[in-house]
Amino acid sequence: MTEHVKTEIDEGIMTLTLARADKKNALSNAMYSAMSDGLERAEKDPAIRVVLFQGDGDSFTAGNDLADFSAQANGNATGEPQAHRFISNLGKATRPLIAAVQGNAVGVGTTMLLHCDLVFLADTAKLITPFVNLALVPEAASSWLLPARIGHVRAYAMFALSERLQTGEAREAFAAFAERRKPDFSKVAG
């Protein structure tokens, strides 16, 4: 466990708070482990009905802690890398996942939102995917999920050009997605 992820359970809601505001909630290996532990606990505990992700301070998350990420890549870190475990748990979650996003949601901070059932964006929210600048490949099936949600043109601009998606643009894009996905009940016999 880590003090940088606070876990609270109240009335069936497990809240996982990224609590590393001094580092813009950059995700360390220990934080990935704590979030994975939370998701696994939610799957086993029938009293937990919903999981809520949020961040302390003015950022949801700055994404991966690059120093921690680099230490792992160079074999200088202790313990097993936990990012894949977290992403895998997101994909397997059967409890509704909710995110409350303020400020920057960088890299995995954006891609994890694609696995959430409901995302609340503060007016300050910015979705940022700097993968190309870091010579990384987008994770968590985001190269499939993001175009499906906001369209290929906007997704390409985010992934290939590192363009940010501001709150207003995100709301517009996701609303258009919801409209396209609205069921057509006119064909249902009643």
- 50-69 pLDDT, tens per residue? 999 999 999 999 999 988 87
**Domain total of the chain:** 1
Contacts of 114 (CB under 8 A, 6+ apart): 140, 141, 142, 145, 146, 149
Q: Which of 30-39, 55-64, 135-144, 180-189 has the lowest average pLDDT?
A: 180-189
Which residues face 51 on adjacent strands? Answer: 14, 97
Q: Is 41 exposed, middle or buried (0-12, 13-18, 19+ CB in 10 A)?
A: middle
Query: Element (H or E) spanning 9, and its range?
Result: strand 5-10
pTM of the full predicted structure?
0.85
Instruction: Let me know: does 5 contact 17? Beta carbons within 8 Å.
Output: yes
Q: Strand, coil or helix: what is 133? A: helix
Q: Domain range for residue 41? A: 5-187
Report the alpha-carbon distance of residue 25 to residue 55 in Å, rounded. 7
Count of residues for the chain? 190
Residue 129 predicted with pLDDT over 80: yes
Chain-centroid distance, C-alpha 79: 23
Buried b (16+ CB within 10 A) or exposed e, 86-116: bbebbeebebebbbbbbbbbbbbbbbbbbbb
When the pLDDT of each residue in the chain is averaged and rounded to a whole number, the result is 88
Structure tokens at 188: 């249902």
Contacts of 88 (CB under 8 A, 6+ apart): none
Task: Give the percent of the chain with pLDDT over 90.
Answer: 58
Q: What is the residue type of 100?
A: A
Residue 31 predicted with pLDDT over 90: yes
CATH of the domain at 48: 3.90.226.10
Q: Strand, coil or helix: what is 117? A: coil
Instruction: Let me know: does 51 contact 96? Beta carbons within 8 Å.
Output: yes
Report the alpha-carbon distance of residue 99 to residue 55 in Å, rounded. 9
Calculate mean pLDDT across residues 111-128: 92
Per-residue pLDDT band for 183 (boundaries 50, 70, 90) equals: low
pLDDT of residue 49: 97
In a 13 Å sphere around the CA of 133, the CA atoms on its Cβ side amount to: 12
